[in-house]
Amino acid sequence: MSEKSDIEIAVRDVSIGYGSRVLMEHLNFEVKTGEIFCIMGGSGCGKSTLLKHIIGLYSPMRGDILIRGKSIVKAGGAERQAIMREFGVTYQGGALFGSMTLAENVALPLQEYTDKSPKEIAALVQEKLELVDLGGFGDYMPAELSGGMRKRAGLARAMALNPTLLFFDEPSAGLDPITSAGLDRLILRMRDRFGATIVVVTHELDSVFTIADRVVMMEKTAKTIVAEGDPVSLRDHSPNPWVRAFLSRDGLKSAGAGSTEKREGAQQNE
């Protein structure tokens, strides 16, 4: 069956895991053109692992994953590389090469995948750094920058080849609320300015309610997706009490109180 033209990503009955250990199974969802789509769930449920399957770093135990109608699971060689070149990825720590300047990091995809001249590459690198508010920082080393600046530099590199499909793995992890909010605005800018389709793995609720058009929620015990839709509607109206608690923080507050009691008890026993 051919894919509809407004579907950027289609996950079809996918199961993921390690060896014989199944993390998630029977995963089914679609990401539409131009939307910001968030993958959510508790710690250890397999959110980042699923993302690595979608971008072709891992192969699923079963099922298929289509990127713009092409199977990244079944593709090999040049066809697989061509699919992977259509998107950009930013990782939790920025994944920059520490021995290279920001400009050199951003230039890498252009040097590897295009035949542009050094002058053309330098101009494009400057353009991408300015896009993420890092103009003037091209000569800096990653270690000289804050965590938020490294994440923005990672986005500049992900945008080097002008992809309109972007993946973010825990973009707000380790950032303070102000820096995180600035990154949320940048993600919205990528969508609104370039018409990008964006997939974000996150558990940061403030970010989800700010940027997400739709979410899927995976639950560790069920080992599958337990909810999909608009996050506000799911928070207020989902028939699943775990989903409502997760999105409203009710369940998280209870868990946090229990953790505090256990820590205090352990300290008294020392």
70: which strand partners? Answer: 67
Q: Do strands 214-219 and 165-169 pair parallel, antiparallel, or not at all (unpaired)? A: unpaired
Structural domain contains residue 16 = no
What is the domain count for the chain?
1
Instruction: Determine the distance from the C-alpha atom of residue 3 to the mean position of all C-alpha atoms in its chain, rounded to a whole number.
Output: 23
The pLDDT of residue 116 is: 94
Structural domain contains residue 70 = no
Structural domain contains residue 20 = no
Structural domain contains residue 4 = no
DSSP state of 4: P
Structural domain contains residue 95 = yes
CATH number, domain of 121, equals 3.40.50.300
Structural domain contains residue 186 = yes
Structural domain contains residue 21 = no
pTM: predicted TM-score of the whole model, two decimal places? 0.86
Contact partners, residue 68, CB within 8 Å, separation at least 6 = 3, 8, 9, 83, 86, 165
User: What dihedral do alpha carbons 83, 84, 85, 90 form, nearest 10°?
Assistant: 150
The pLDDT of residue 203 is: 87
DSSP state of 145: S
Q: With a cut of 70, list the residues of the chain below it in pLDDT.
A: 1-5, 93-94, 251-270
What residue numbers bound the domain in which 131 lies?
Answer: 33-60+82-255
Structural domain contains residue 23 = no
